[in-house]
Amino acid sequence: MGIRLEVNGREIIAEKGETILSALSRHGMHVPTICNLKELSPTGACRMCVVEVEGLENLVPACSFPVEGELKIKTHSSRVLRARKTNVELLLSNHPDDCLYCERNLSCELQSLAEHLHIRERRIPGKKRSGGIDRTSPAIVLDPAKCILCGRCVRVCGEIMATSTLDFAGRGNELKISTSLAKTLDESNCTACGQCLNVCPTGALTENIQFPGLEPHLSDPKALVMVQYTPAVAVSLGELLGYRPGTDLGKTIPVLLRRLGFDFVVESSLGADVMIMEQAAIFQERKGQEKPYPLITSSCPAWVQFCEMNFPELLPFLSPLRSPAQITGILMKERFAGQLMHGKKRVISVLVTSCTAAKREAKSGEMTPQGIPVIDFVLTTRELAKMIRLSGLDLEKLQSGETEAPVMIHGYAGKLTAAAGGEAECLTRSIYRQETGSEMDPSKLQRFRIHKSYREATVKTGKGSLRIGAVNGLAEAVRLLEEIRAGRTQLDLLEVMACPDGCINGGGQPLRAREQTLRARTKAIFDLDNGAEIRTAHHNPDVNRLYKDYLGQSGGETSRSLFQTAFTGRKDN
């Protein structure tokens, strides 16, 4: 039985237990908010969503006011609008006036609210926030002066990512966002997942931008500049360039990258296909060994770092393989560059990815054994969009004018790794073939494609069976690992992705994607797989050629020395 609400003279029905804000938004009524996020606990801290409730003296925050009886509500009365305007003016009173130079110029929620509420002067003067900018992390930049203390980052980092790197520190006017024990981001336990900057409404949390440093190399005739891009970039870049969510620009991106000055383009899904081949070999090797935990994937760098810091006892169960981007980077430098030098003197390897953690990974000791990185520059989807805008390239013209994509090497099943559950799915196809000698019908795992933070399936492999699981969001992963530790869940193979919904929702993606957008990106990845002629890593002709001419056997000496690394337990900093 619903609860009757009268909102601005119109009747709507609220559900028992919901807040005013959620009832309004279910009925398509928009009330602005800064601190509130659907998937996080409400705090009512910013008071931007205040509404007038008949019979109550004070305005109430709609995000945390439960609907417990019939109410008469005004959402946009002049009293409410005045209060919202004052709240924004208070936030602006100590905010730096450098919007023109801010990374979030034109994508800042505070800026938009000031515009919507028609704020045209600084009415309330205030002391500017102090605190130096923390640029120590290769991935994340924290500028406390731009923080409006909404707490979104604190809740995402704690509630969804189980990391709790960020928290409030100090009191009164000195209240600020800080890492625990006021360490720098680089010294802290931050996994560089980037989920905090995805929700930060202002320029207080941004990514460490690398593309300006790349530009001189692109115009240097002596440099061979090689680039790889991940499948998650292909299905989300369009959102930043005026296309519908879920538009696949996979055919345009290679042409575009060549026009931007890159000499050679390869899909990171090539490395994903190689990783699947290697992972299947590792699975085979470990078969039959007594083990309390499943073989756990290691393709997500934020998860790997989290595991090293919080679950060192799981490292023996973690696949020793580097991430697909690192594997592609190794192949670029070790194999392809030699065939393409033609008088060039230097090789520069670039990754375009949805993942901010890849920026940290590229510089980590585990990935730079002789101090030389496999990947020199890591750009996010957002950075690629900025480069395209800067270049003045017209995507429509590129699409109609060029049919020959200059990609020389392709990935196939590996494209699935962009979506949560996708790595487990394509790995199962290769393990099935290994176990049975025949091909698995991909539709066997159709029910694995549910939109949930955890999914599980059992696939019959001849006389045996394979129990697979895939979890996304580190807090969910922690819960699942507790289940496994307690013996309540038993699996042979477990995929862990740090970001909710996997790489398509990485920290480098278009900001603050709604659920429909995430679903559209995921669907685009599944559609690519459904429509592909080749749907397994072991049938990828480019991969088979690589093994024949260069790598030898999957799981053999060459691929082990190139693609495996030693993950080490480290103290939570």
Q: Which residues bind ligand SF4 (CB under 6 A)?
A: 140, 147-153, 156-157, 161, 163, 165-166, 177, 190-196, 199-202, 204-205
How far apart CA 189 and CA 142 sit, in angstroms, is: 15
Chain mean position to CA 57? 44
How far apart CA 155 and CA 472 sit, in angstroms, is: 17
CB of 35 to ligand SF4, least distance (A): 7
Q: Which two tokens stand for residue 292?
A: 């309390």
Nearest Cα residue to 376 out of 332, 427, 314, 321: 332
At residue 7, what is the residue type?
V
Q: List, in order, residues 6 or more apart from 451 with CB less than 8 Å away.
A: 501, 519, 522
Chain mean position to CA 469? 20
Q: List, in order, residues 6 or more apart from 283 with CB less than 8 Å away.
A: 295, 427, 431, 434, 492, 493
- Full 3-state SS string of 71-106: EEEECCCHHHHHHHHHHHHHHHHCCCCCHHHCCCCC
Q: List, in order, residues 6 or more apart from 424 with CB less than 8 Å away.
A: 297, 448, 468, 469, 470, 493, 494, 495
Q: Which is nearer to ligand SF4, 84 or 155 (by Cβ)?
A: 155
Q: Which is nearer to ligand SF4, 183 or 467 (by Cβ)?
A: 183
How far apart CA 423 and CA 445 sit, in angstroms, is: 12
Burial grade of 130 (CB within 10 A; 0-12, 13-18, 19 or more): exposed
Q: Which is nearer to ligand SF4, 131 or 261 (by Cβ)?
A: 131
Q: Which is nearer to ligand SF4, 153 or 253 (by Cβ)?
A: 153
Q: Which is nearer to ligand SF4, 147 or 249 (by Cβ)?
A: 147
Nearest Cα residue to 59 out of 83, 37, 42, 41: 83
Q: Which is nearer to ligand SF4, 35 or 60 (by Cβ)?
A: 35
CB of 315 to ligand SF4, least distance (A): 20
Q: Which two tokens stand for residue 515?
A: 């659920």
How far apart CA 121 and CA 82 sit, in angstroms, is: 15
Q: Which is nearer to ligand SF4, 22 or 305 (by Cβ)?
A: 305
CB of 571 to ligand SF4, least distance (A): 16
Q: List, in order, residues 6 or more apart from 72 with CB less than 8 Å away.
A: 5, 6, 53, 54, 55
CB of 112 to ligand SF4, least distance (A): 14
CB of 151 to ligand SF4, least distance (A): 5
How far apart CA 145 and CA 326 sit, in angstroms, is: 35
Q: Which is nearer to ligand SF4, 375 or 474 (by Cβ)?
A: 474
Q: Which two tokens stand for residue 224?
A: 């061979």
How far apart CA 294 and CA 284 sit, in angstroms, is: 13
CB of 113 to ligand SF4, least distance (A): 13
How far apart CA 237 and CA 234 sit, in angstroms, is: 6
How is the chain split among helix, strand and coil, in percent rounded to 5?
40, 15, 40
Q: Which is nearer to ligand SF4, 203 or 231 (by Cβ)?
A: 203
Q: Please count the other Cβ atoms lying within 10 Å of the Cβ belonging to residue 432.
A: 24
CB of 108 to ligand SF4, least distance (A): 10
Q: Which is nearer to ligand SF4, 166 or 525 (by Cβ)?
A: 166
CB of 476 to ligand SF4, least distance (A): 15
Q: Which is nearer to ligand SF4, 18 or 159 (by Cβ)?
A: 159
Q: Which two tokens stand for residue 133?
A: 């900018």
Q: Which is nearer to ligand SF4, 194 or 502 (by Cβ)?
A: 194
CB of 468 to ligand SF4, least distance (A): 26
CB of 139 to ligand SF4, least distance (A): 7
Q: Which is nearer to ligand SF4, 201 or 502 (by Cβ)?
A: 201
β-pairing, 166-169 vs 60-61, is unpaired
CA atoms within 13 A on the CB side of 398: 19
Residue with tokens 């100090």: 170
